[in-house]
Structure 1
Amino acid sequence: MVVDKSKKISLVKLKELLNSVLSSSNRTSKIIQKFDDIIIHSDVLFYTWKLLAKNYINIKNSNDIYAQNVIELLEKISPSKCDSKEYSLGLDCKEKFVLDDLLLNKYIGKVWQSLINRDFKSPDIHKKVLFLLMETYINRIDNAVFLTDFLMGSMNIKGIISILALEGMSKLMQRSNIEYPNIYGKLYTMFEPDILHKKYKSRLFFLADIFLSSICLPESIVASFIKRVARLSLISAAPDIIMMLKFISNLMIRHPGLKRLVNHPDVTEVSEDPFIANENDPTKTCATSSCLWEIVLLKNHCLPSVSSAAKFIDFNLPSIEFDLSDVLSNNYEKIFKTECKKKTDKPSLTFERPQNSIAKLKDDKLYKLWSLIV
């Protein structure tokens, strides 16, 4: 690798550019756009991240303007925009530059560690940081343990921010086998009636299905999720009910012991349901002593697609889980088209044509009433 001394002039120019970009008084979008032309060179990419990691990112006590400039810069200097690991600008140096991916990832991790230490007062900036992290950089950060506190704190914020943070925790748990205390408690509190009116509700169910995919989870936690979602289904639109029923089915397939919730011997009346709906700790809801009377009610739903989906409790559970992606984008139009395509048996009619019609009974009072109606 080329040493810094041979890059002295290049680094000076790069420092001047970064000084202009990272302003705390003015937005520098026009200058940041220039990085599109130079970041394709591997040496520019490497030394930009090195300078940011060592000298420039001090965002903790900065204002929103500085934070926005940093975020916009990070969008432009993604390593994915570099054409080749051996393609360098070659300023003031005749030697060939070879990009060190491991060292680059180390610098990227340092920059992000400084970035997330800031208290984001603006929801828009917080959302941009999370989106940029999920889409571009989370797989570049080798030791991502420091991200857990930031993501868990973000899950306390309602709205799309909590969903993005949940997705981040999902990726960390899958990639690095990271565990965090009370992660299921945080997830449990996200299932509130407000979520039914949000566009990202299907994303929540998709991620929750991943989080709850382990068969080693305590039945008390899984039963709490089943009951919470079952209660939500009573106030949900038909497309959402179908999604929730498939979600509940998957949880019961993974934990066959929870089949007892269908007809629990200790609960014979709805008023006797011991489930504590207002409890936010899934280990303290008494869900395992409850029953699924909510799904029994849904068996009598006016829409056949909903009632048939709820009848899964009357049969043995399948051995293969349902693919939630088939119902995550469900809507009334799809339900209507499905119902129209169904073939139904024609009702039986008399095979003998009637001899007398109402038109022949002109003197009959019934005929006169009929003529008035039509």
Structure 2
Amino acid sequence: MATISEFKQLFDKFLRENKCPTGEIVKKKYYFPVDQLKTIYTSMLTTTNIQWSQFQQMLINYVENLDFCYYSWECFSLIVQHLNTDKTNVYMFTNLLGFIKIPTEKNEDDKLLFKNNKRPQFKYNSEQLKSWVTVVWDDMKPFMLSNIKIRRDMLTLLIEKIQMHLNNPLVTADFLMDSLDTPGPIAILGLQGIFILVKDYNLECPNIYGKLYNFFTTDMFNYRYKTRLFYLADIFLRSTHLPELLVAAFVKRMARLSLVAPPTDIQIMAAFIGNLLIRHPPLKVLIQSDSIVSSDPYIFEEKDPLKSNALNSSLWELVSLKQHILPKVGKSVNFLFKKLPQVEWDMSELLDDSYESMIDEEYKTDFQKVSLTYEKPVSFSVPLSNHMDDLWTLDD
């Protein structure tokens, strides 16, 4: 089996032998040894005794070069067609896809691994790059459907770097819609992918708000991408032209969930509710309503937000949280019952909050000193309020 030092030697040889290539091909176009790089990548994927972190450290000096990243994706498009879980490490391949960036365009200050002013210069071809990326995405689908971890990792890559570089990003719509039906973080990643298609590529998704609404359950507090869900919901509900019936359902849903939410999430939901009330002033009636708890008309189990009857309810849940055991949480809820500000709360600061930061803040809080006795001592004798003699008899 190859060792990490042997791979370093392979890369050194790769770099040394191709600095000054000769032959007719060098005169016609920019020279990059794709076949040689593909062989090195293939060897990496078939090695079982080396950790990804070691490969990452070895590649870190190469990924700064535009031509290396550009032609790496050509290598990936060739390798992916022959991926085999029995012979190659597919997890390592997904790590490679995440580590090697997809170049967007060529700038004058970009580094090139094999730059030579006497030879044809490197030319960035966006259409060619898109075709390579599309092949990688299409050929990775069988692995995504059979392995939940690979599916999650590839969905993350799709959102962060791949989707915008596909020949037709809309072809991912069906896959993303299927991901919405998978419980847990995969559904949230699918939701973000759908959001990108709706926003940037005019995808029509009529039931997207219903799907978003049903993400808000007690299970969400255990999601790995919980903050991403809050972030997406804030963007989806940012429009002031949404029906008040729909927005009221989200407000009431979050108020109900806040009863069982962790303290950090209560703060996020309180700010979220406040922002929705600022965007839709008529919904302030939910705070001012005098509805009795036992007659709350809101239907928590209803899947359709428009049928949840939230607009006829009230936010009694938040009233009960005004006296939360943590002062910071109670304060964040109390703000909703005062005159709402004109400017929305900054959600980004709250999304990074954690138990550790909340505890640290409580430690730094100066509390008012409370007297331990209510009678001024006048001597060293037993104080006046000593009731021990009234309750106990001490034998000699």
SS of aligned partner of 2:288:
coil
Q: Which residue of 2 aligns with 1:13?
A: 35
Q: Which residue of 2 aligns with 1:220?
A: 245
Distance 1:301 1:16 in 2: 60
Tell me if the contact between 1:239 and 1:330 (Cα under 8 Å) persists in the aligned partners. Answer: yes
Tell me if the contact between 1:224 and 1:285 (Cα under 8 Å) persists in the aligned partners. Answer: yes
Matched, 1:284 2:307: yes
1:233 positional shift = 0.8
Match of 1:102 among 120, 126, 141: 126
Match of 1:186 among 188, 211, 215: 211
Distance 1:347 1:193, change over 3 A: same
Distance 1:332 1:44 in 2: 42
Matched, 1:308 2:328: no
1:1-374 matches, within 5 Å, as: 6=28, 13-14=35-36, 17=39, 20=42, 26=46, 45-47=69-71, 49-50=73-74, 53=77, 57-58=80-81, 65=88, 67-68=90-91, 70-75=93-98, 77-79=100-102, 87=112, 89=114, 95-115=119-139, 117-118=141-142, 119-141=144-166, 143-176=168-201, 178-264=203-289, 268-328=291-351, 329-331=353-355, 334-335=358-359, 337-338=361-362, 341-342=365-366, 344=368, 353=376, 355=378, 358-359=381-382, 366=387, 368=389
**1:288-316 superposed Cα distances (whole Å, 9 cap, x missing partner):** 22211111111233333222322234222
**1:254-281 superposed Cα distances (whole Å, 9 cap, x missing partner):** 111211112336xx32222221111222
**1:230-254 superposed Cα distances (whole Å, 9 cap, x missing partner):** 1111112323222221111111111
Q: What code does the residue aligned with 2:134 have?
A: K
Distance 1:68 1:349 in 2: 66
Tell me if the contact between 1:28 and 1:69 (Cα under 8 Å) persists in the aligned partners. Answer: no
Distance 1:202 1:156 in 2: 19
TM-score, normalised to structure 2, is: 0.71
**1:62-111 superposed Cα distances (whole Å, 9 cap, x missing partner):** 658575464344345433599976836389x9731322242244224422
Tell me if the contact between 1:242 and 1:327 (Cα under 8 Å) persists in the aligned partners. Answer: yes
Tell me if the contact between 2:170 and 2:203 (Cα under 8 Å) persists in the aligned partners. Answer: yes
Tell me if the contact between 1:187 and 1:208 (Cα under 8 Å) persists in the aligned partners. Answer: yes
SS of aligned partner of 1:149:
helix
Count residues with an aligned counterpart: 361
Distance 2:241 2:170 in 1: 23
Unaligned 5+ residue runs, structure 1?
none
Q: What code does the residue aligned with 2:102 have?
A: P
Tell me if the contact between 1:49 and 1:107 (Cα under 8 Å) persists in the aligned partners. Answer: no
Distance 1:142 1:312, change over 3 A: farther
Tell me if the contact between 2:272 and 2:347 (Cα under 8 Å) persists in the aligned partners. Answer: yes
Distance 1:178 1:142 in 2: 16
Tell me if the contact between 1:116 and 1:150 (Cα under 8 Å) persists in the aligned partners. Answer: no
**1:18-48 superposed Cα distances (whole Å, 9 cap, x missing partner):** 894698xx56897x95977877665565455
Which stretch shows the higher mean deviation, 298-307 or 8-17?
A: 8-17
Distance 1:47 1:159, change over 3 A: same
CA RMSD of aligned residues (A): 4.5
Which stretch shows the higher mean deviation, 207-216 or 286-295?
A: 207-216
Tell me if the contact between 1:230 and 1:295 (Cα under 8 Å) persists in the aligned partners. Answer: yes
**1:125-144 superposed Cα distances (whole Å, 9 cap, x missing partner):** 11221233334434444642
Tell me if the contact between 1:75 and 1:132 (Cα under 8 Å) persists in the aligned partners. Answer: yes
Distance 1:8 1:171, change over 3 A: closer
Tell me if the contact between 2:267 and 2:350 (Cα under 8 Å) persists in the aligned partners. Answer: yes
SS of aligned partner of 1:359:
coil
Which stretch shows the higher mean deviation, 35-44 or 221-230?
A: 35-44
Tell me if the contact between 1:224 and 1:282 (Cα under 8 Å) persists in the aligned partners. Answer: yes
Q: What code does the residue aligned with 1:192 have?
A: T
Q: What code does the residue aligned with 1:264 have?
A: S
Distance 1:76 1:305 in 2: 40
Q: Between the two proteins, what is the percent identity of the paired residues? A: 32
Q: What code does the residue aligned with 2:292 have?
A: E
